[in-house]
Structure 1
Amino acid sequence: MDDAVRLESLTKTYGSGDSAVTALRDVHLSFPRGTFTAVMGPSGSGKSTLLQCAAALDRPTSGRVFIDGTDIAGLNETALTELRRESTGFVFQAFNLLPSLTAEQNVALPMRLAGRKPDRRTVQRALAQVGLEKKAGSRPGQLSGGQQQRVAIARALVTRPAVLFADEPTGALDLTTGRELLDMLRKLVDSPVDDGLATVVMVTHDPNVASYADRVLFLADGGLAGELISPTPEAVAARMTDLTVSR
């Protein structure tokens, strides 16, 4: 199985001199295609920085990032923008939908930003993937929080990216709606459309949320601090307790 994303000796430092803060230290990681990975760690452990660098939203100070086989180090800003647009999808805790646009128009936005005429069948397929094909004409204000997050995921999926990044995707949702969303992310990986290998990388602080993933990666002080395969909420919570106490 090849990798949707690979990180080699990834280091990210903010500032310089005595005020420099190293958020990531020599991180080596791979995210194989067709897998669901959760990233956890105490506050300040570097998990959000990891997600930003892995998604090419921020450049590392040193090390290499490969997305869908492409080394981003040699890309100028225009090429990097195109890579992000075509090969990655990003879902935030805040849904970031444009309130004046319908669900269908919000999903089509990445195509318009790329200078392409949106293909309605492609947009409808993305909405169908998240179970909202009947809400295509609804604006965000007419949708529940869970439905808005599903539109955000459809927007991230419309270009059929190599990897979907999610930063606390259930953070603004109630428990029941959050579970429905996680079931949907799980299904994207287990039953991808058109035989594509869907890959999900998710940052979360919740052991119950992390248990939906195939594996959980733990960060501490900017470095890897272990992983769990086939995680349970109890095992994740115990590992997080150990990390917090040992700091």
Structure 2
Amino acid sequence: MNHNDHAIQLCSVSRSHKAGDSAVTALDRVSLSFPRGTFTAVMGPSGSGKSTLLQCAAGLDRPTSGSVTVGGTELTGLSETKLTLLRRERIGFVFQAFNLLPALTAEQNVALPLRLAGKRVAKARVREVLRQVGLGDRARHRPTEMSGGQQQRVALARALITRPEVLFGDEPTGALDSRTSREVLTLLRSMVDREGRTIIMVTHDPVAASYADRVIFLVDGRVNGELTGASADDIAARMTRLEAVPC
């Protein structure tokens, strides 16, 4: 694979945070590639660096050392303005909290990233994305008139409106019951299979992770192996072993 086949590449990325007089290393020389058109889950015990990895890969946080490349653009040298533009135009986010604006309808929530970017909002495009997530008939409903699963799908449509190169999910099914969670994960899986999207998802749920092509495990800020095409049971067993490792 040449580097253009990768949506995101991390090369020896470290991230330290100051804690009093000492520094805490959240990521320790992590090198990873995320090929285009793949679904990757990132797992690890609490405090293993999962969220920091996601934030560095998405350009939300700057690594202390190492480099992050998004589709051929190296992020390290970018100004805050250029970084903001890159995130806005090329990266989508879905979080555990749906972060919808309650006063706005589904279609207004979905159109928000375009409005914030000062771009023209094509109503047909908004409707198309809502249809993609199975909410074609709920465009005029407000969040309070929807279930949790429907709200998360609106959040997903909002993330997709800019046609991002990579979609990041931080526990995207964390607030949903298991049936609704499966619906959202099936939708994410089909976006990878049918539309060739690239998805990177942090999760603590082995069932959610089993929808991904591969699962990367982090322990103490380092990559601790990966599984490809694994079942939820295999993933759960691996997590149990990781969490049992004495500190």
Provide runs of 4+ in structure 1 moved above 3 Å. Answer: none
Alignment partner, residue 159 of structure 2:
156
1: distance between equivalents of 2:201 and 2:230? Answer: 14
The aligned counterpart of 2:226 is 227
**1:123: Cα distance to partner?**
1.2
Distance in 1 (CA, whole Å) between partners of 2:21 and 2:30 is 23
Match of 2:131 among 119, 123, 128: 128
Q: How does 1:43-192 map to 2 (within 5 A)?
A: 43-192=46-195
Q: What do residues 36-76 of structure 1 show as CA deviations (whole Å, max 9, x unaligned)?
A: 00000000000010001111111111111111211111211
**Distance change (3 Å), C-alpha of 1:140 and 1:17:** closer
Q: Give the TM-score normalised by structure 1.
A: 0.96
1:97-147 deviation line (CA, Å, top 9, x unaligned): 000111001000010110112111221111111011111111101111000
In 2, the alpha carbon distance for the partners of 1:125 and 1:30 equals 31
Asked if 1:24 corresponds to 2:27, the answer is yes
1:14 to 9, 17, 22: 17
The equivalent of 2:199 in structure 1 is 200
- Ranges in structure 1 where 5+ consecutive residues have no aligned partner: none
Report the residue type matching 1:31 in the other structure. F
Counterpart amino acid of residue 229 in structure 2 = S
Following TM superposition, by how much is the alpha carbon of 1:17 offset from its aligned partner in structure 2, in angstroms?
A: 7.5
What is aligned with 1:215? 214
Query: What is the CA-CA distance between 1:19 and the residue it aligns to?
Result: 2.1
Q: Helix, strand or coil: the match of 2:128? A: helix
Measure, in 1, the Cα distance between the counterparts of 2:188 and 2:227: 19
For residue 219 of structure 1, report the CA deviation from its aligned partner: 0.1
Residue 189 of structure 1 aligns with an amino acid whose one-letter code is V
SS of the residue aligned with 1:27? strand
Higher mean displacement: 115-124 or 167-176 = 115-124
Q: Deviations over 1:175-225 (max 9, x none)?
A: 100001100000000111xxxx20010011011111010000000000000
TM-score (norm 2): 0.96
Gaps of 5+ in 2: none
Q: Distance in 2 between matches of 1:231 and 1:184?
A: 19
Note the aligned Cα RMSD (angstroms).
1.0
Counterpart residue identity of residue 22, structure 1: T
The amino acid of 1:183's aligned partner reads T
Q: Distance in 2 between matches of 1:185 and 1:43?
A: 24
Residue type of the alignment partner of 1:170 = T
Matched residue count: 243
Partners in 2 of 1:61 and 1:208 — Cα distance?
33
Percent of pairs identical after alignment?
Answer: 65
Assess if the C-alpha contact under 8 Å between 1:68 and 1:87 holds in 2: no
SS at match of 1:121: helix
- Equivalent residues of 1:35, 1:214 under 8 A apart: yes
